[in-house]
Structure 1
């Protein structure tokens, strides 16, 4: 494999570990836990893995050894640092016993079911240390939810003498890990299942999980690109840039990038929902800023838009809920129809309120909302060009204002969608260390007999040696939600908290950003240099941990 100079240098970087993970460990257990909501329902569904305590690792003087082969799976979208979770896992199980083996299942959970795997060796893994991407073993979006899948996976687990599976994924993937852990525990198969919190979206976090890995690197990568656009924007002074940012169900990425770059406008989906805003109100708010800046002779600016915005507009959110149920119950009735017939079918089956909303949407947006869902039952919002929808609506409104004498500026716009640009970036120092520690923690959870747990690292705004490592029962983070027309146990997504410090900091200053050109140009991710530059955390985490 050919390597760049940066990749060679990054491979030589030695990730730092918390003091508690640098040698042998002992387990400190907390009090029994319960799920965040729907306690009776979750307890009934997970009787063997419910109520377990949060655990924390402490240094031990006793020599620690453990025989165990481990399987690892990368699940869902890529996130910077995934390779380091695997290297931390590999190094730890080899330290516990050099004969231990690590097997990687190819292309995600489907590799477990289809028995596609490789043994990860020292020579093989060394090419991937501290690198971005998931190309070491690939990823996939197969859902592990059926008994046939569990039993088929068990066949290869038995054949390879695997003691535990580590599933590296987001909230849906870790929900699947919890279901698998419960099944194997109920059957007394003796196979442990451990999860690791991954998603650049930042919505897998709670009191126990400070941040999901990849969020730090991805937001720094996007902020570099946004800063470059801001500088270009401030140089040519003639375009409004509408930038959509990845983040399907929450606006954490958009908020973090706004705090780093200070754009003129950043829409926060959660605020739109809380204020019961319509699409027209959002457009009018944007146009007011464009018109104000035009009066100052500033016919340019930058607008950040979260990918999942469309779902958070209350009227459209209600429509999507009914469409989800309709597609789950009657999807096969209209799949064979042509596009116009599908539209008529949907209109005939919607409630009056949602029918009106559906009828007023642009045809391409309505079409996207009525297409098949992703494997987890979600609208594929990344396919909806929200940035173009908003700019077209702004253009129309500004033309109307011009005719009415309310606007005399010039409006030209450019569109961007930053998603894949950040998912496989070389991990920042923070994600490099964080992920290596997560992999080490996962190995220690296995060695200490745990199953149905997610590896966690806390106190991460402090120096690395002061970080705290341990595990949290996955059931503790679960509640019941409607998916594909049925109530299902899922990990509750963490949305932007409107009374949280990051949003409050943004809210306090955003009007100034709207009126003035306050752009900040963060520049590239720093790997070397002064610690205050290359080892800083996200603004979000810094504010939350104050």
Structure 2
């Protein structure tokens, strides 16, 4: 097997890099530092690019075409082996690379991959690392990446090689700053490593540079632990595999603790933004008693063949807010014919909007059933973005943002009178600690910081209240003690799994190939990921093909559509088929720490395997 680690300095563990000292690495870090990375076979020898058919957009193609007149419609590209190296490929390229957004395990290997490509395939090339994210581009702050500088970061976690940032290049002045940097450094290309927003920005840069007849090409790379940047051509975002395995180890430990003490319910909130991919994957890896999937409405569930006319009228009453299939919602008024046509395909229908009481009752019902079996303990997984799927909470937050922008919270609570009745009732229903978070935790724009709302503590308090009510009614005789956890930052910078290490290296190497071949406005894509690395496919997907538009401040803004959990998808269906058993029987799995050698070291996450049709 050929390995792609040809650019390493001599001298063992010592490194002249000003950032990290490999000489102080742990034994595991040092072992990972020298871990060889296999490349897909197409990247081992001469290749050529084959263009596919013209692309469209994920939604509103006419609007996307207006926003990206130069990028829209361009084909995706696929690398295929060829007999000889094309004679027209240039050497001495000048390429920039930037890390954008939150950290994800494997980012350093993307940089290592493009660096090695340039060293091996485009001699005398230079790779600049822009420091601190997109701000580094605008301020022209960069470091010249050399073999010695990169060496201690290979196969290591974190983004500290050049650091990341959340700035956006979006105003005319900022685009001008980016142009000036590109011209000053004579850049042939730029690699943007980031999530959905960052890759939207990458496409805007590609469009701007092309419009200005600049030679600088832009390629994106799919990064996010949240798992919400993916499509058929881009089957996974890097970092998801590692983060989920880190969280699953901790969940497994908590499960063993719960079983050992027999007296705690552990409420575990998991990072992941709006999508519940991390929660779903961790559930598949560990088998908790309860896992809430935000995309799935919890309401008055009814089998299609058991629905009566009252249920049907109830569904029609709620119209556009009722039937949700993954990221898409059926909007507009329903006809009976359309409704009946949809029901057999969906199987289950939420006849009520998602509410906090629905979620509380769902959890409480299972706790009561477990108590009758003698289990006064358990583990409950909660997605970070749960609140995004509860309309009543979203309405309350919107009203609070508006009121607190103009009013001061008075001790008498007179400000509450400006809330609508439903929002006022909900606010009073919430635990005091959550009320204070809603009022005090504001961002610089004065808005509620939804990500900082401790949903796990809120649910513990609400479940506790409901259990006390049921105990007084004689329907619950158990004991309840809640423990809260938030697993988030722990998973963003761990040592990447063998999968993420190889995947990221291939993404970076592929990005180098795309830039070298003159491509722009594509996102590096590596496929066939359920096969051995040697059989992975490599190419680039048009960024505009992933886009839709949202109307903000009276204007259409391009956005890469977030991939939410699909309720008809294989991962969710597998979870749904097993959760009833997990709820009442303790089928806990403790995956243990990430393995780099031996059994399980090359296992890929359940979500990816199930989505690709493999056996997970």
TM-score normalised by L of structure 1: 0.93
Match of 1:116 in 2: 141
Q: Structure 1 pair 38/60, CA: closer, same or farther in 2 (3 Å)?
A: same
Q: Is the 8 A contact 1:74 1:137 kept in 2?
A: yes
For the Cα contact (< 8 Å) 2:396–2:427, is it kept in 1? yes
Note closer, same or farther for the CA distance 1:323–1:467 as it changes in structure 2 (3 Å cut). Answer: farther
Equivalent of 2:593, from 519, 524, 544?
Answer: 524
What's 2:380 paired with? 303
Aligned partner of 2:452 in structure 1 is 383
Q: Which residue of 2 aligns with 1:316?
A: 393
Residues of 2 paired with 1:8 and 1:360: CA distance? 53
> Which structure: larger Rg?
2
- 1:238-292 deviation line (CA, Å, top 9, x unaligned): 1000000001110000000000000000000000374322101110110111111
Report what 1:49 is aligned to: 71
For 1:240 and 1:246, how far apart are their aligned partners in 2?
19
Structure 1 residue 322 displacement after superposition: 6.7
Superposition map of 1:267-286 within 5 A:
267-272=292-297, 274=324, 275=350, 276-286=353-363
Pairing 1:95-244 to 2, within 5 Å after superposition: 95-244=120-269
2-side partners of 1:378 and 1:132: how far apart? 33
Q: Equivalent residue for 1:414? A: 483
Measured after TM superposition, the shift of residue 93 of structure 1 is 1.1
14-23 or 100-109: which moved more? 14-23
Does residue 1:458 correspond to 2:483, yes or no? no
Do the aligned residues in 2 keep the contact of 1:105 with 1:118 (CA within 8 Å)? yes
CA distance in 2, matches of 1:258, 1:28: 40
C-alpha separation in 1, matches of 2:142 and 2:410: 45
Partner of 2:462: 393
Match for 2:609 among 537, 542, 546? 542
CA distance in 1: counterparts of 2:534 and 2:149, whole angstroms: 28
CA contact (8 A) 1:73 1:105 kept: yes
What residue ranges of structure 1 are gaps of 5+ in the alignment? none
* 1:468 matches 2:545: no
- Can you list the C-alpha shifts for 1:415-468, whole angstroms capped at 9, x where unaligned? 110000100000000000000000011111101111111000111011111110
Kindly tell me the number of residue pairs found equivalent between the two proteins: 535
> CA shift at 1:399, angstroms?
0.7
Do 1:66 and 1:96's aligned partners in 2 also have CA atoms closer than 8 Å? no
Cα contact 1:201–1:252 (8 A) shared by 2: yes
| 2:382 aligned counterpart, secondary structure | strand
**Counterpart of 2:549 in 1: which secondary structure?**
strand
Distance in 1 (alpha carbons) for counterparts of 2:448 and 2:538: 35
- 8 Å contact from structure 1 (residues 248, 381) kept in 2: no
Long gaps (5+) in structure 2:
1-20, 299-323, 325-349
Per mean C-alpha deviation after superposition, the further-off stretch among 486-495 and 446-455 is 486-495
| 1:153 to 1:346, Cα distance in 2 relative to 1, 3 A | farther
Query: How far apart, in 1, do the equivalents of 2:228 and 2:496 lie?
Result: 19
* Alpha-carbon spacing, 1:184–1:309, altered in 2? closer, same or farther (3 Å): same
Aligned-pair distance for 1:360?
4.8
The alpha-carbon distance between structure 1 residues 268 and 379, as it changes in their structure 2 partners (threshold 3 A), is farther
Partner in structure 2 of residue 257 of structure 1: 282
In the alignment, is the contact (CA less than 8 A) between 2:221 and 2:507 conserved in 1? yes
Shift in CA distance, 191/247, structure 1 to aligned 2, threshold 3 Å: same
1:501 aligns to what? Answer: 570
Greater shift in the superposed pair: 240-249 or 312-321: 312-321
TM value normalised by structure 2: 0.83
Partner of 1:18: 40
Change (3 A) 1:353 1:403: closer
CA positional deviation for 1:207: 1.4
Residue 400 of structure 1 and its aligned partner are, at CA, apart by 0.8
- Aligned-pair Cα RMSD in Å: 2.3
How far apart are residue 127 of structure 1 and its match?
0.6
SS of 1:243's equivalent?
Answer: strand
Deviation at 1:114, TM superposition (A): 1.4
In structure 2, the CA distance between the partners of 1:172 and 1:363, relative to structure 1 (3 Å rule), is farther
Distance in 2 of aligned mates of 1:59 and 1:347? 69
Structure 1 position 24, deviation (Å): 2.5
**Gap change, CA 1:351 and 1:392, over 3 Å in 2:** closer
Q: CA deviation at 1:508?
A: 0.6
The Cα shift of 1:527 comes to: 0.4
How far 1:297 moved relative to its partner? 1.1
The CA deviation string for residues 96-139 of structure 1, in whole angstroms up to 9 with x for no partner, is 23310111111111111112110110001011000110010001
In structure 2, the CA distance between the partners of 1:112 and 1:285, relative to structure 1 (3 Å rule), is: same
Secondary structure class of the residue paired with 2:188: strand
Cα separation, partners in 2 of 1:277 and 1:452, compared to 1, 3 Å: same
* 1:485 Cα deviation from its structure 2 partner: 7.2
